[in-house]
A and B are shown apart, each in its own frame.
Chain A
Amino acid sequence: MIELQHLTKQYGSKTVVEDLTVTVKPGVVTGFLGPNGAGKSTTMRMLVGLEEPTSGRATVNGRSYRDHPLPIRELGVLLDAGARHPGRSARNHLLAQAHTHGLPASRVDEMLELVGLADVSKDRVGGFSLGMGQRLGIAGALLGDPQTVVLDEPVNGLDPDGIRWIRELLRSLAAEGRTVFVSSHLMTEMAMTAEHLVIVGRGKLIADLPVAELMSRSIRSVRVRSPQAALLQPLLTGHGVTVTTEPDGSLDVIGLTPEEIGARASEASIPVHELSSNQASLEEAFMELTRDAVEYAGETTTTVHPADERTAR
């Protein structure tokens, strides 16, 4: 269980995290979603005591992270998979972490096996690919068999196989009753992994809801193609209904069901050649939610860079 209470972080006059109050519950994968620069990494860094909050509090199982006598047994974290000495072997990298908590070398070997790095455990990590680095970071996060797991953008750099693997891993961790909190800037990725979403933008909470609810909330529109679209259009407009004419002459209707549109067209004897409903993708729903909160919006599109959020400081 992770509790953030009015968590705020300011660097000078810039507020990176603003009054964030969220409870991350055990048993489900919770996605921490937001565009780059939304304060996700900073929030995670505050959670493990790498940054001091300007105000507010972040607790893990009721206590601040640093007050736990054996912190990595309580919460495992992957913040930056690049944080490794290139000249050190994967096994020694993990051993150095394991020793701090008196964990045996056998636990290190188990974790290397779990993440699929057992064969390269003696190789220097300088030669590791991005994906192997992520796996090593995940091994480190799970080293203490923690009840709570926090991963910052774990999918970055993984191949499709690796992405599927991590999805299964996260779900199985949650199924074991652990709290799993995973950040991403990719809605589609989170929709496939998480059951619950915490969405932030510019450091502020935008939404805290189950994925299913976001899906049902996503905007529906109906595409109507008719040779007499100009006649049909005034019949459809009304309170709460938006009708837009698309470049190909078809109508895009928001606020009416296909059944209602069909009935009205039939009453007026207007032929209809196409009547199809399309659900806005989750990505679009996410963009809609965070539109005002995008830190570095491009001219026409929202560009999401996989770059490290910390550069946004």
Chain B
Amino acid sequence: MSTQATAPAGLPAAPDRITLHNLMRSEWTKLRSVRSNMVTLAAAAGALLFIGLIFSAMVGGVVGNPPADAGDDPAGVALAGVQVAQLIIGVLGVLAITSEYSTGTIRTTLTAVPSRLPVVWAKVAVVTIATFSVLGISAFVTFFAGQVLIGSGDVDTAALGDPGVLRAVLGAAAFLTGTALLGLALGGLLRSTAGAISTLFGIIFVLPGLGFILLPESLRDDLLQYLPTTAGSSFTSVAPDSSQLSPTMGAAVFAAWILVPLLGAALAFVRRPA
């Protein structure tokens, strides 16, 4: 075993500073090198696909009897897996940051990048690219395969060119990516896997139900439409119903639900000692 620590060939001179590109490579290495992350990503894509296919098969009469409203929303049927996929991908976003705190690697990360803030953007970029590409592909595959299954019955199908359909398919991928980023933000704020996952599930699941029970009827719809899940469904469905925001407004509200916690997390990341 040699004790010579110098690199005889010398280390490359360039780059002369820490670049966002290199930080993204580092974050991607961290994300891909832990098996549970990849399993989670695959599980989200799989849930989106298989739930969509099962619903499509039912509507198309391939399995069981088609429900009475078969054919009303063929694109929506194929994208029925979004809710389940949302929970799974949210966990990936949480783990992308809380695993650094639970294992202590955050100190290694921050020692390599003492300016800190670029690490947040690199994490955001890597989580966005990984989830949007994988779940985007999954959403398109699910949509097309779903329409084939639906079309095998005597039921109307949707085409990408139909009004709102392309937006709904891309919207599903964007909605899932946004949920992952919300998980990342909550993980960054709370620094605890359990805490961030429960908070995320609380926002997704509990808030709408709680709002429904507690809010007076006159305010209920007005306020509930601003919750992230409701706002999100305005652009993931082909024809949002009248109680919802318009797709553009819904996207803006959903984006705010992500950006505000994310900025908070970035601030905490820079300010609070690791």
Partner of A51, one of B33, B112, B273: B273
Interface flag for A213 (CB, 8 Å): no
Interface members, chain A 73-119 (any B CB < 8 Å): 73, 77, 79-80, 82-89, 92-93, 95-97, 99-104, 107, 110, 113-114, 116
Given contacts A96-B30, A107-B7, contact A77 B111 (CB under 8 A): yes
Q: Can you spell out 7 A-B residue pairs with CB atoms less than 8 angstroms apart? A: A50-B111, A69-B18, A84-B103, A85-B34, A87-B36, A100-B18, A102-B15
Quick one: given A87-B34, A101-B112, A107-B7, are A50 and B107 in contact (CB under 8 Å)?
yes
A65 within 8 A of B: yes
Nearest CB to that of A69 among chain B residues?
B17
Contacts of A142 in B (CB 8 A): 5
Contacts of A168 in B (CB 8 A): 3
Name the residue on A nearest B102 (C-beta).
Answer: A85
For residue B242, CB closer than 8 A to chain A, the reply is no
Question: 7 shortest A-B CB distances, which residue pairs?
Answer: A83-B104, A66-B114, A92-B33, A99-B26, A49-B114, A69-B17, A99-B25
Q: Are B1 and A145 in contact (CB under 8 A)?
A: no
Q: For the complex, is A201 an interface residue (Cβ under 8 Å from B)?
A: no
Q: Which residues of B contact A59 (CB under 8 A)?
A: none
The verdict on A73 contacting B11 (CB below 8 Å), with A88-B33, A97-B26, A114-B5 known, is yes
Pick from A84, A97, A114: contact of B112, CB under 8 Å: A97
Query: Closest residue to A92 on the B side, CB-wise?
Result: B33
| Cα distance A142–B109 in the bound complex, in angstroms | 15
Among A238-289, those with CB < 8 Å from B are none
Please give me the residue from chain A that is nearest to B5 by CB atom. A142
Q: Mark B86-130, 1 if CB is under 8 A from A, else 0.
A: 000000000000010001111111111111000000000000000
Beta-carbon contacts under 8 Å, A166-223 to B? 168-169, 172-173, 176
A48: chain B residues within 8 A (beta carbon): 111, 114
Residues of B within 8 A of A66 (CB): 114-115
With A114-B5, A145-B5 in contact, is A101–B18 under 8 Å at CB? yes
Determine whether A72 belongs to the interface, using a CB cutoff of 8 Å to chain B: yes
B272 CB to nearest chain A CB (Å): 11
CB closest chain-B residue, reference A81: B104
A130 close to B (CB within 8 Å): no
Q: In the complex, what residue of chain A is closest to B7 when comparing beta carbons?
A: A145
Which residues of A lie under 8 Å from residue B26 when comparing CB positions? 95-97, 99-100
Contact between chains at B14 and A50 (CB < 8 Å): no
A140 close to B (CB within 8 Å)? yes
A82 to B106, CA, bound (A): 12
Contacts of B11 in A (CB 8 A): 73, 103-104, 107, 144-145
Q: Measured between alpha carbons, how far is A73 from B23 in the docked complex, in Å? A: 16
Question: Are A172 and B5 touching (Cβ within 8 A)?
Answer: yes
- Residue pair A176, B5 in contact (C-beta under 8 Å): yes
Instruction: Check B114 against A145 for contact (C-beta < 8 Å).
Output: no
* Any A CB within 8 A of the CB of B218: no
- State whether the Cβ of A235 lies closer than 8 Å to any Cβ in chain B: no
CB distance from A71 to the nearest CB of B (A): 6
Contact in complex: A172, B34 (CB < 8 Å): no
Residues of A within 8 A of B (CB): 48-52, 65-66, 69-73, 77, 79-80, 82-89, 92-93, 95-97, 99-104, 107, 110, 113-114, 116, 140, 142, 144-145, 165, 168-169, 172-173, 176
Nearest Cβ distance between residue B95 and chain A, in whole angstroms? 10
Complex Cα distance, B34 from A95, in Å, reads 13
- Chain B hits for A165, CB < 8 A: 1, 3
**Quick check: A99 and B29 within 8 Å, CB to CB?**
yes
- Distance from A159 Cβ to chain B, minimum over Cβ atoms (Å): 14
Question: Which residues of chain B are near A69, meaning CB under 8 Å?
Answer: 16-18
Which single member of A49, A88, A173 contacts B34 (CB below 8 Å)? A88
- The answer to whether the Cβ of B12 comes within 8 Å of any Cβ in the partner chain is yes
B6-32 interface code vs A (CB 8 A; 1 in, 0 out): 110001101111110011011101100
**Is the pair A52, B273 in contact by a Cβ cutoff of 8 Å?**
yes
Which residue on chain A has the smallest CB distance to residue B119?
A100
Knowing A72-B111, A96-B26, the reply to whether A85 touches B103 (Cβ < 8 A) is: yes
Residues of A with C-beta under 8 A to B84: none
Given A50-B107, A165-B1, A172-B4, 20 new contacts (CB under 8 A): A50-B273, A51-B273, A52-B273, A70-B16, A70-B17, A70-B18, A71-B114, A77-B111, A86-B103, A92-B29, A92-B33, A93-B33, A96-B33, A96-B109, A97-B112, A100-B23, A100-B112, A101-B18, A145-B6, A145-B11
Chain B nearest Cβ from A302, distance in angstroms:
29
Q: List chain A residues, Cβ under 8 A from B5.
A: 114, 142, 145, 169, 172-173, 176
State whether A50 and B7 are in contact (beta carbons under 8 Å apart), knowing that A83-B103, A88-B30 are contacts in the complex.
no
Interface centre among A51, A87, A104 (most CB of B within 10 A): A87
Q: Which residues of B contact A114 (CB under 8 A)?
A: 1-5
Which of A82, A84, A96, A169 is close to B3, meaning CB atoms less than 8 Å apart? A169
CB distance from B91 to the nearest CB of A (A): 15
Cα distance, A102 to B16, chains bound together (Å): 9
